[in-house]
Amino acid sequence: TPSPTPKSTPSPTPKPTPSATPEPTPSPTPKSTPSPTPKPTPSPTPEPTPSPTPKPTPSPTPEPTPSPTPKPTPSPTPEPTPSPTPKPTPSPTPQPSQSSAMKPTNITVVSMPAKVDFAFYVLSQTWQPSFCKTSNFPGCANPTDYMKSHFTIHGLWPNYINNFPADCTNQVLSDDDVKSASEFADVKTYWPDVKTGGIQFVKNEWSKHGTCSGLTAPADYVKATMATHLYMPTNAIISGNLGSSVHAKDIRAAYGTDYVSLICKGADLSEVRTCYSTDLKYQIPCPAYVLGQDSCGSKTVKINSFK
């Protein structure tokens, strides 16, 4: 009777238990763990970082800031500013410290304008032996006795403080004007034209400089120029050293250091320039603008002579 009980004991339960458990354990989870997520994370970070750098580089702002517009604006201003309208009216008065240094000229050959728009005159005198040294003009081949030992006229030039006017009107100087002026002094002697032998050089000087003098009669300009030239004769240091060399400082001392500007061509004395009040009544110390034109420096200069 107790025999049917052992048949139920060998239950088949242990078979399903070991089959299902080993299959889920080797699941491919380790393959998903090395996912390439760390690689994309560092890649976008360096790309946005260099993007702000081009922003400061295209800084074209410093280029317009040093724009040279403020620099050229002051450059033209000094030229119109030295319009010496208040200075020339009583030309000695603008320089009261130099009033005692003014030298009367006693030039009264013409009546000078009472009011002019420039500050002073420059008389430029040429040493023809130096001019003719490199020229083959007719007047150089046959120099006059006066040219051999005297300065001749280059021109009488109205000047501002820092520059000079030129070609102010279209008025011409005629042959009759020169004849009228020659009643005062011989134009061809004191103001020779070595290029043509005529009076074209005088006409050119009138057109460029005389038309700015305020003198309405061209003959008056020629007379005033010759009168100023005769006031300033050739200094003995020049006429006494023909063909020799003289120290430039000795020439300046002979004329008065502040009263003359020496012009040289190389080592050859070519011109002397002296300064005068607008009414030509006084020789005055030359302003710095004229003294700055001195090109002889501290060297020894040659007083050329005609051979």
Tens digit of each residue's pLDDT (9 = 90 or more) over 26-84:
344 434 444 444 343 334 334 434 444 434 444 443 343 444 433 333 333 333 333 34
The rounded percent of the chain whose pLDDT value lies above 70 is 67
pLDDT in tens, 243-278: 999 999 999 999 999 999 999 999 999 999 999 999
Kindly tell me the number of DSSP H helices and DSSP E strands found in the chain. Answer: 12, 8
The rounded percent of the chain whose pLDDT value lies above 90 is 65
Domain residue ranges in the chain: 119-302
CATH level 3 topology of 119-302: Ribonuclease Rh; Chain A (3.90.730)
- Helical H runs in the chain? 16-20, 29-32, 128-131, 138-141, 145-149, 175-182, 187-190, 200-208, 218-231, 236-239, 248-255, 288-291
Task: Give the whole-angstrom CA distance, residue 220 versus residue 109.
Answer: 8
Could you tell me the pTM of the whole model?
A: 0.69
What is the pLDDT at residue 307? 82
